[in-house]
Structure 1
């Protein structure tokens, strides 16, 4: 079991989400940065969809009331166990009574505390994810609060001290130019792309859009020169998924994210490809982003390096743990 000692708003229990219920009006939810959760669960030998704690605000402090192995992924931040600094993206094992503190990130926006064996909260519609708008899942359908306790399996790994290179250090993206502070995202023209004027279509790709404070897990509202339609249109409602870029009447885009509505009716100008959604999830309020046009085939192909990165990580973890167990067995045999 773990006990939350300090937390700010909107930190929740999440897993990879609950697909398959959008026809009932239930959004997918789940972590914003699915790649960071997958990495954490691979490092710990967990099933890929085990639940974690998603951090959006800091500092966050918890106490382990039983031994545990853990990894903090998604961000580069000041992370401490009983005042001892540990690295992100690394596996650590703690004893009962030890305290983990995660400070504000130096890079990235959302951190993920992954624990061996996952976090045990009730499964609702096939997922442990918190659905804040519906008030279900996670811990009573709400953000975590100081004093909350979460059940864990108490599992610990026989080896620790290994980790992963962050995805940003491994996965290539589109050319970044000279401004490293701009996040570059590949996107495909969407169904209603041709409804926009040629000038607006070009502006979509040329504008460094700023993420406004009116942004959350539902979607990022972007600030920039408005995008204009050839003429006003009335669209039938359609299904919405993470990555769709909608344009409301004011002309400033909204990128739908993990807690997106199940249906929408604003014109769709583009869709951020799945391979780049984790980059968007780690963008902070005020950050500027640039869209770069890609084809459907290029969007599908962009997932191959992501899958290869995860496959290589699984192989590394398996080899490291096997090697460490062999070394431990040799040392034990020498003592005998």
Structure 2
């Protein structure tokens, strides 16, 4: 884990301070940035999002999809959590906490927008940071790569329908044209560009060429993330200063969702007899979010100064500490996990010294 990734929460807090300060001192500049739109897409933010997303997608080798069958138990559990549980559980938690329990302490005009942001956040499984979490749990690298590649392929076709369905169920007007445009801009085009670039690099210099380019792009990607956060908090500054409790309240359903889905994935893997080195990354992939995509989609759908955009940014704020806590739990419970009856039976049938299908 890089220094930036380890202290991401601190960087986000710094962006909150800088963004609020700039938004208060230079309101005209932020108004000008907000006006730079084409078809409801903010151009400065779109450029920043591309700079964030494309380097992350460059890490994904879609040829890894051929290895999916070797980890069918873990793959099945993770797909179930990512696409059948997580978005729907977040919609329920958003309605329960934001739409009901916390409603008296939140601005009424933004309630539905906050819920929409939480739904968008949960509908996009994590891509880049998963490799960090998997490494910290001594996870099976081939499983992690194949699972992420499969999730990215599914996201191309499933992200818009799931978001549209859940926004409709939450009685939020779905701007379908903008939603589909967001999918094309922030999923389809970056995936295609990243894969074309990856193939050209590997054809000339193998994986080493990809790693060299990633080393150059990584600082640019991180700078783009910080700049996007500064812009978001510049627009949200007055609302946050007036009601600083908002961030803490929005974090509650996100935290519950992470522990609920990671715990469920971990237990289901144990029940099916999957190895711990697969169950660990499976739980982490099932719980974490592709917050860069979520931020981009929320901005496109609801605007830079919307409650939806703020809700997705809270996901960035809590990402590192909460996922590190899940890593700690996974590592500390390895003995309990491997004592599970199904895991024991599978170890007897196929000892760890031999590759398990």
Whether TM exceeds 0.5 here: the answer is no
The structure whose RCO (Cα within 8 Å, separation 6+) is larger is 2
| Bigger strand share | 1
Larger radius of gyration: 1
TM-score normalised by the chain length of structure 2: 0.24
| Bigger helix share | 2
